[in-house]
Amino acid sequence: MVSHELTTPDLKSERRVRHAPRFFNMNRLTPYFFLAPAGAVLAVALLYPIGYMIYASFLSWNPSQRIHEADWIGLRNYTNLLKDPNFIESFFVTLKFASVVVTLEMVIGVGLALLLDRKIRGMSVLRTIFILPMMIAPIVVGLMWRYMYHPSVGILNRTLKGWGLDPIPWLSDPDWALPSVIIADVWQWTPFIFILSLAALQSLPQSALEASRIDGASTWQQIIHIKLPLMLPVLIIAGLLRLIDAFKVLEVILVLTNGGPGLSTEILSLRISRTTSEFRELGEAAAMSNYLLLLLLIITLGMFLFNKVMDMRQQRLRAAAQEAG
């Protein structure tokens, strides 16, 4: 009887501990304690500058003033930009540049990965050679291509003259300036797509490929119906990363053309830099930055939504295949 009375409270306390709210479970809260410093740093390093930029975009602010001395003008910076033909032209140059370079880099990078996804002697050397351009600093890339585009001593025009062709005004003609910048960017960043695509190819399930070979699928049929669909999530992320980076290119264009001739190669990042340093309109530059940020957010959300739709589609196809089997 005594032992029963002694053990009953222990059982009750054990039940209370067992049914305690999980919110107070230290084991569940431990990961959040470890994440808290990183979250605080992220809030200070990311959220504060973005909030500062948004606030500055509503001001008529120049570098000679402190931000609290600037005049509040509301949405005037945003409305003025929408009526500014130079800003509109820079916006469309940015869209043209980003869409062309990302398309070319995706096609060339994925094509090279499909071509080299096999056992080749010296493959490690080839991979090292392919990734060298993306390891070079953008300023160096700009200087290197500027020398290559030189109208008289550049290797490109010298080669054309050797073939009996007329030299091309690579950087001085508005019709050639943007393609010249595109070529330099594609040369530098195609290896990024190539490396990610090759890694995605080598991680594909071999069972699906073997089954397609047994069913008599040709190489093109394997690429179109098996390899590319399975690579799609990686390709979407790679394309999104390159698209975001293409909207922020500055150094290569600054060295090659400085936005010229005229405004033919002036993308938004370069116009923001010039608005800040040359025109000394910090509020207007902040409004441009917010337009660029909004554009990138829309593109990012659209790409993630597309990726989600494709994942749901693949899940439905798998479910249908299992029911049919």
User: Is residue 321 very low, low, confident or very high in pLDDT (cuts 50, 70, 90)?
Assistant: low
Q: Which residues pair with 60 in a beta bridge?
A: 71
On whether residue 75 sits in a domain, the answer given is no
Q: What is the pLDDT of residue 104?
A: 96
Other Cβ atoms less than 10 A from the Cβ of 45: the count is: 9
| Residue-wise pLDDT tens digits, 116-137 | 887 777 777 877 888 889 889 9
User: Is residue 325 very low, low, confident or very high in pLDDT (cuts 50, 70, 90)?
Assistant: low
Q: What is the pLDDT of residue 100?
A: 96
On whether residue 67 sits in a domain, the answer given is no
Give 253's contacts (C-beta < 8 A, 6+ positions apart): 142, 181, 259, 265, 266, 267, 270
Gap between the Cα atoms of 58 and 284, Å rounded? 8
CA distances 298 to 84, 115, 196, 292, Å, are 22, 34, 24, 10
Provide the number of structural domains found in the chain.
1
User: Is residue 68 very low, low, confident or very high in pLDDT (cuts 50, 70, 90)?
Assistant: confident
Q: What is the pLDDT of residue 10?
A: 52
Whose CA is closest to 256, among 120, 159, 148, 163? 148
Long-range contacts of 64-71 (CB under 8 A, 24+ apart): 64/280, 70/283
- Residue 96, pLDDT > 90, answer yes
Question: 59-60 and 71-72: which strand pairing?
Answer: antiparallel
- Residue 72, pLDDT > 90, answer yes
On whether residue 275 sits in a domain, the answer given is yes
On whether residue 61 sits in a domain, the answer given is no
Percent residues over pLDDT 70 in the chain: 90
On whether residue 27 sits in a domain, the answer given is no
| Residue-wise pLDDT tens digits, 254-298 | 999 999 898 899 999 999 999 998 888 999 999 999 999 999 999
On whether residue 53 sits in a domain, the answer given is no
For the chain, how are helix, strand and coil distributed in percent, rounded to 5?
75, 0, 20
Q: In a 3-state reduction of DSSP, which class is residue 176?
A: helix
What is the domain range of residue 110? 87-324
More confident residue, 308 or 159: 159
Q: What is the pLDDT of residue 2?
A: 45
- Residue 57, pLDDT > 50, answer yes
On whether residue 4 sits in a domain, the answer given is no
User: Is residue 46 very low, low, confident or very high in pLDDT (cuts 50, 70, 90)?
Assistant: confident
Gap between the Cα atoms of 111 and 102, Å rounded? 14
What value does the mean pLDDT take over residues 137-142?
Answer: 92
Amino acid identity, position 189? W
- Residue 317, pLDDT > 80, answer no
Q: What is the pLDDT of residue 4?
A: 47
Cβ-count burial of 198 within 10 angstroms (0-12 exposed, 13-18 middle, 19+ buried)?
Answer: buried
Gap between the Cα atoms of 50 and 56, Å rounded? 10
Dihedral angle sign, alpha carbons of residues 202, 203, 206, 208: negative
What value does the mean pLDDT take over residues 229-243?
Answer: 88
On whether residue 155 sits in a domain, the answer given is yes
CB 184 within 8 A of CB 252: yes
Q: What is the pLDDT of residue 91?
A: 94
Give 148's contacts (C-beta < 8 A, 6+ positions apart): 154, 155, 156
| Residue-wise pLDDT tens digits, 15-26 | 554 554 554 567
Lowest mean pLDDT among 2-16, 112-126, 239-253: 2-16
SS3 sequence of 197-253:
HHHHHHCCCHHHHHHHHHCCCCHHHHHHHHHHHHHHHHHHHHHHHHHHHHHCCCHHH
| CATH code of the domain covering residue 307 | 1.10.3720.10
Percent residues over pLDDT 90 in the chain: 46
Q: What is the pLDDT of residue 158?
A: 94
Q: Under the phi-then-psi rule, with left for phi > 0, alpha for psi from -120 to 50, and beta for the rest, what region is 284?
A: alpha
